[in-house]
Structure formats: C-alpha cells, structure tokens
Structure 1
Amino acid sequence: MASAPSDIPSKNDPYASLRSREFQFYLVIRFALVFALNMQFAVVEWRVYELSHDPFSLGLMGLAEVIPSVGLALFAGHIVDKMEKRGMLLKCIIGYLFISMALFALTWKPITQHITDHMALTGIYILVFIGGIVRAFVSPSTFTLMALLVPREQYANAATWSSSAWQIGAIMGPALGGFFIHWFGVHGAMFAVVLVFILPLFSLLQIKPKPVYYHPKDGDVFKSLGEGMRFVWNTKVVLGAMALDMFAVLFGGAVSMLPAFAKDILHVGSDGYGMLRAAPAIGSTITMFILAYFPLKKKPGIKLLAAVFGFGLCMIVFGLSTSFYLSIFALFLSGVVDGVSVITRQTILQLKTPDEMRGRVAAVSSMFVGSSNELGAFESGFAARALGLVTSVVAGGCVTLGVVVTTYIISPAMRKLDLKA
C-alpha cells in the first residue's frame, strides 16, 4: 500500500504521528469540525425543545439527518475514492459553513418575530437534512485523508490522536454551546459556530493535494459500491466491530434526550445541560490519552466487548438517576468505556482496509456507526413518547447488554481479535 513518508518512525513512540506537520493540521481540522458541529447541534437541540417542548421533536432531528446520510453513504464513498480528498473535504466544510449561517439567520430576532414556531422548526429540520447530505461525504473524506498523511505503521497511533482531537471537540462544543446559550442566548451561540467553521478552512489549505489510488471505469458505479459492501461482509472482525457499536449507540445512547432530562428530570438550566453534554466526551478523551501511551495489545476484542457492556450499564444508571451529579458521573463513565470502543474500531478499519477502498469502507462504517447516533436519537425520541423518558433509556441500556452477550457468543473473530499491524 502507498502511504505518506515519515520523519521518525517509532512503533513505541506515542507522538510518532504528531511529527507530521500535515497531520498536525489534520488534527486541527478534526477538532474544529467536531467542535463546531457539536456546539451547533447542542444549540439547535435546545432551541428545538424550546419551540416544541416535546422529546419526539429531538428524535425527528436525528431522523432528518440520518435519511440523507445513510441514503447517500455508499454513493459518497465511491465519489470520495475516485476524487482528490483535500478538495472534497474543502467543499464539505464550505457547505457546513453556509448551513450554520442559515441557522444563525433562523435565530435572528428580526426574522424570528415574523415567522411562527412551526415555520422555524421546519426551517431547522430542512437545514439539518442538508447537513446530513454533507455528512455523507465528510466521513469517508476525513477517514481517507488521514491514511495519506502518515505511514501504515503509525495508523494505530494516528487513530488514537485523531479520536482524541474528535473527543476534545466533542467536549468543548456542547459545553460551550450550553454556556453560550446561558450568556449570550441562542443567537449569540450560533454566531460563535459560524466563526469556528473558518478555522478548518484555513488549516485544510496547509495540506497539499493527495494522490488518488482508485480509477474505476465508466459505468462501473454499482460494481464499485458492491465491492465496499462485500469487503466489510467478508472481513468478519470489521463487520463485528461496526455492528456492535451500531447497536450499542442505536439502543443505548441517551445524549439526544439530554435537553429533556436537563429540564424535566434534573431541573437544571442551559449551563447544566452543557455539563451533561460534555461529560461523556471528557471521559472518552481521558481514555484516549491513556491509550496513546498504553495501546491495547492483549485481547482487544474482549476489552471491546467489556467496554460496550460497561456503556450499557452506565446508560441504565443515568436513566434511573434523579441526581445531577450522579447523572454526570454515569455519563462520564460511559465516555471512559466508549473511548476504548472508538480507538479499537478506528484501528481495525485503518489496518484492515486497502488504500483504494477506504472511502467506500468508511461510507459503510458511517452507515453502521456514524448514522446510528441519529437513528438512535429518533429511536430514543419515539421510545420516550411511547414508554416514557426514563423507561426508554433504561430499556435501551438493557438491550445494549443483550447485544454484547450475543456478540460474544456468535463472533469468535471478535473474541480472538488481534490489532498487530
């Protein structure tokens, strides 16, 4: 496989991938994108619940994003594989910038005073839908670009730092989103989001265009799409890691319901909501920094299963809690164990995927894992309406435990997983 050159290759060096200047800018892009998107989603979630006072409306946000994201995922992976990666990611960032500017306009008083709440909600859902279209291309673009910035022997190390940058952005985004709502209102918070989207644009221009390894013949689109699906299906450890995480997030995630928990269960304001949103990412980031120094070498598959099992237990505790501090602690621990899952899955994908197929495999991964957050948001909203807010979260945690036990029984490839490059 072709890969980027390295200055100082050292398998035991926790900073090996950070010695690449372009990878440093990549981490800035990774952080800034996730920071801006998480902050934007936290602010929009708060605004949607303000307008509707209905947990199901939060679930509809997830559905609005997941429909285009999943529907276009395979096609997007094919496009990314045959296109230059930096240019594709640049188009995606510009698209996100325009969406955030439109959301900023929808929170501007001279506009909001002339439209109904229903019109505002409809506008938000439409913009979230468009964001789902952009997201279909962002995931394979960022995944593929990373492999072109560091050599193969540094993939695991790069995945750790990339995931850490992602989680730091996921910490600061929703936390500052909640505090900015408290300090400056929804409109001021959305203005901050617009400003943040400028940072990844600048950083991406510091990375040179990269070679393209996939050159399909005209008319081979469906064959190309099928190759990505067959690769995932035939590589059982990849399939198992994707499926395990998908079901855990789909049924066990409660993040989309946090505005409802903050307001109706824990009775805290927007600042407390920001703390709840940040708690899982703080735990995950701590785990990822530890794993940069002590990578998972022995029985990583068993540890992955244990981590997802722990995630389910944390969701059960969070659902039953009526204490703000216990809820934060449960979410923090959910992030600690989720960090193990994220690093393991990303390392599997980077090590097992050929260069010419990265975009399509990343697209399949986004269908399994990335979009499960939004499907999980819809499932959580629907379950909250049908079963009640607390019951839906506890039941989801129990389903997660069942998924882990089932995976352990039926997947010997996961039990015997080896992450050696």
Structure 2
Amino acid sequence: MSSTSPSAAESAGQLLRHHPAFLLFWLASVASTIALQMQIVAVGWQVYQLTHSAFDLGIVGLVQFIPSLVLVFVVGHVADRYDRRNVARFSALVEALASALLAIGSLGGWLNREMIFAIVFIIGAGRAFSKPTMQAMLPGLMPPSLLPRAVAGSASATQVAIIIGPAIGGFLYVLGPQTVYISSCVLFGLCSLLLSLIKLPPAAALRGKVNGASLSSVFAGLAFIRSKPAIFGAISLDMFAVLLGGATALLPVYAHDILQTDSVGLGLLRSAPAVGALAVALFLARHPLRGRVGRTMFIAVGIFGVSTIVFGLSHSFVLSLLALAVLGASDMISVVVRSSFVQLETPDEMRGRVSAVNSVFIGTSNQLGEFESGLTAAWFGAMPAVLIGGIGTLLVVFLWVRLFPQLYRVDRLAPPKTK
C-alpha cells in the first residue's frame, strides 16, 4: 500500500486541519450553499403565496435548469481554460447580485411572479458556472488517495448548509422575504472572498491546457462520458432517480395543504434530508466504502425510492421528517460514490468539461425534476405525483442493473492504475 494512503482514523476534521486550501474551499461551499438554501425556501414560499400554483413551483426549477443546459459546453471549456478559482469567484458575485435584486424587489413591492422567474434564471446562470468549476477544483487541492474522503468531507459541508440554510430561511422569512435575500447576498459575497484566499498548487492553478474553443475540445467532456459505460451509468442513474423521485419541489404544497404547517415547518422539512445526508457524509469521511461500491450505490438509490413513497403517503409531520431524513441519507451514499468515481476516472485537463456535463445531468435531476413534480402535481395532485416518482425510481434501479453491469461490478473507489 502506498505511504500516501489515509489511515482509517483520518476524518473530515483532520482533512480540514491539515489542508488549509481544503478548509477555505469547505467554508466557501458552506457559505454559498446556506445562501442558496435560504433563497430556495424564500422563493418557494413567496411564489406559492403569490399564485397558490404547484405548476409555478415547477417553473422555478425549470428556469434554474435552462442556463445549465444552454451553457454546458461553454462552462466546461471555461473551467478547463481559465483559473477555476476566479471563475467560481465571479459566479458567486453574480449570485450575490441576483439576491440583491430579489431583496430590492421585495422591499419595493414590484417583485411579481415573472420578475422572480427572471431573477431565478440569473441565479441559475451563476450556478451553471460555479458548481462544475468547484467540482473540478477539488481534486487539485488533495492527493488522489484522499479524494474520496475529501468528497465526503465536502459533501458534509453541503449537508450542514442544507440543514442550517432552510431553517434560517424559514425563521428569517417571518421578518419578510427581503431579510432572507439580503442575508443570502452577504453569504455569496463571503464565498467569493474565501475562494480568493485559496492558494492552488501550481499544477492546479495553471490553466490553458485547452487550446482554443474547437468543437472537438468543447464537446470532449460528453464524448469522454459516453466512452465510459460505468461513468455514464453512474451519472444517468442519479439523474433519472432524482428526476422521478424529486419530491422536494412540492414541499411548500405538503407544508401548507397536507401537513398544515407554516414557513418554519417548511424550513424544517427542507432541512430533514440534509440531516440524514450529513450523518452519512461524516461517517463516510471517517470510514470510506471499501468494496462493492457499485452494488451499494444501487441499493442506496432503491432506498431513496422507497423513502419517497413513504413521504408521499404520510400525513404526519414527524413521519414526513423521518422519511425525508432517510431519503437524504441514501442519496448521500449515491453522491459520494458517483462523485468520487467520476473524478478519479477523469484526467485533470478534462475535469472541467466532464464536471459541466455531469452538472447538467444533476441539474436535470434537481431543477428539471422540480418541474416534472410540479407538472404531475398540477395534473394528478401532489400525493399521486410523489408516489409516481418513487415507483419510477425503483423501476429505474432494476433497469439500470441490467443496462450497466459494469457499474454494478465496480468494487473500489481508487485512482486508475498507470503503467
């Protein structure tokens, strides 16, 4: 075994203490995710109060997703061509500007349904650049042998923020939506500042490996993914599972109409998946998966589908919280396996473009999944929409086991061997 292999006792906390660049990256991720999650609660509650339309909640997800789809190849090329740190910094500033516009519109009373959609589109454009760029940046901060732990540690940051963000957003919304949006603006600015303090290793800071924006270089990320069946299977499994099982877009409907709670209850419901996910992320940061990771990923996605069904049937606030916590825990296992596997199997000079395509798949499962949930809820009602999604997720798991046996047989998360 290589001397650089981490001991079983090395935890996420030790990674933060011994790798200053990772600590700054971790803090930046926390700040931006808290800001985003606060925004999600405020925007969802504000839109539903304005329109009382589940379909409009789906539109919020759709307008966030469109920039990721339109800009996917531009984003990947930029992340591989330019300093990833500066790209992520600028993206955070764009999101801060959008938050300021939401605050000004709320204070001025001119923030209607259409204006919210337009500003959310700007937020989606910022996320289209920031998310894949930061994903591509992470491997440059850590030795390859520590990457699975770093991914789990980074995921724990995201889950801490997802727990804190919605709860804070729900409480602050009592003071008015502008309070939430101003707080988000400050946090996005803090994220940009923290990213500027990261000192990248020379090899990670130096960009320019992509010479010019030729069609072959721009589309290389998609071509690479298609050439690797196991990678394509991992990304597409996550996409279709969350696309079908994405019940979170309907949380304002469940909170208001089914569970009979308020904005604070909505914040707690938003936080519940992250509680389960954080527990799993912290566990995996200390005890990474050792074997049969492909099979484990399939089992986790299956549990995700079952949890979605339980949530869809629940009329109890406590049971709904528990179902969402299990849903988040199972999703985190899938996230760690997929993220580590894709990053370890991708050369550094390709990571920006591969991460951009990966983000579109993830964006499809999240934002487009919200649109799908809103649309099916408008057609059939909120509860049937969630049940259809959960059942569909289970069907995808059984189908993907047959379509991608290479993924099912993946045993370990490790860098590919070099000759």
The answer, yes or no, to whether TM exceeds 0.5 is: yes
Aligned residues of 2:89 and 2:193 also touching (Cα < 8 A): no
Q: Distance in 2 between matches of 1:400 and 1:212?
A: 41
How many residues end up aligned between the 2 structures?
406
Residue 124 (structure 2) pairs with residue 126 (structure 1): no
State the alpha-carbon separation in 1 of the partners of residues 207 and 98 from structure 2.
Answer: 31
One-letter code aligned to 2:206: V
Q: 2:205 aligns with which of 184, 208, 211?
A: 211
> Does the CA-based 8 Å contact 2:89-2:192 persist in structure 1?
yes
> Is the 8 Å Cα contact of residues 243 and 365 (structure 2) preserved in structure 1?
yes
Instruction: Note if 1:10 corresponds to 2:6.
Output: yes
CA drift of 1:42 comes to 1.1
Q: State the AA in 1 paired with 2:364.
A: S
- Aligned match for 2:281, one of 261, 273, 288: 288
Inter-partner Cα distance in structure 2 for 1:10 and 1:343? 17
How does 1:8-407 map onto structure 2 within 5 Å? Answer: 10-12=6-8, 13-15=10-12, 17-18=15-16, 19-108=18-107, 111-112=108-109, 115=110, 120-182=112-174, 184-208=175-199, 210-218=204-212, 220-407=213-400
Answer with 59-68 or 195-204: which moved more.
195-204
Give 1:268 deviation, angstroms: 0.4
1:420 alignment partner in structure 2: 414
Unaligned 5+ segments in structure 1 are: 1-6
Question: Following the alignment from structure 1 to structure 2, what is the Cα–Cα distance between the partners of residues 9 and 201?
Answer: 32
Divergent runs of 4+, >4 A: none
The whole-number CA distance in structure 2 between the counterparts of 1:196 and 1:78 is: 27
Q: How far does residue 41 in structure 1 lie from its aligned partner after superposition?
A: 1.3
Matched AA of 2:376:
A
Q: Please give the per-residue CA displacement for 1:322-342, whole angstroms capped at 9, x wherever unaligned.
A: 111111111011011111011
Counterpart code for 2:198: I
Q: Is the 8 A contact 2:80 2:210 kept in 1?
A: no
After TM superposition, give the deviation of residue 359 of structure 1 in Å.
0.4
* Structure 2 CA distance for aligned equivalents of residues 8 and 296 of structure 1: 18
Are 2:90 and 2:192, in contact at CA under 8 Å, matched by a contact in 1? no
Q: Read off the aligned partner of 1:10 and give its amino acid letter.
A: P
- Aligned counterparts of 1:76 and 1:420: Cα–Cα separation in 2: 27
- How far did residue 181 of structure 1 move? 1.4
- In structure 2, runs of 5+ residues without a counterpart are none
2 CA distance for matches of 1:322 and 1:366? 34
- Structure-1 separation of matches of 2:22 and 2:182: 28
CA shift, 1:211, in A, is 2.5
Identity rate, percent:
37
CA contact (8 A) 2:249 2:370 kept: yes
Give 1:214 shift: 4.3
Contact 1:319 1:394 in 2 (8 A): yes
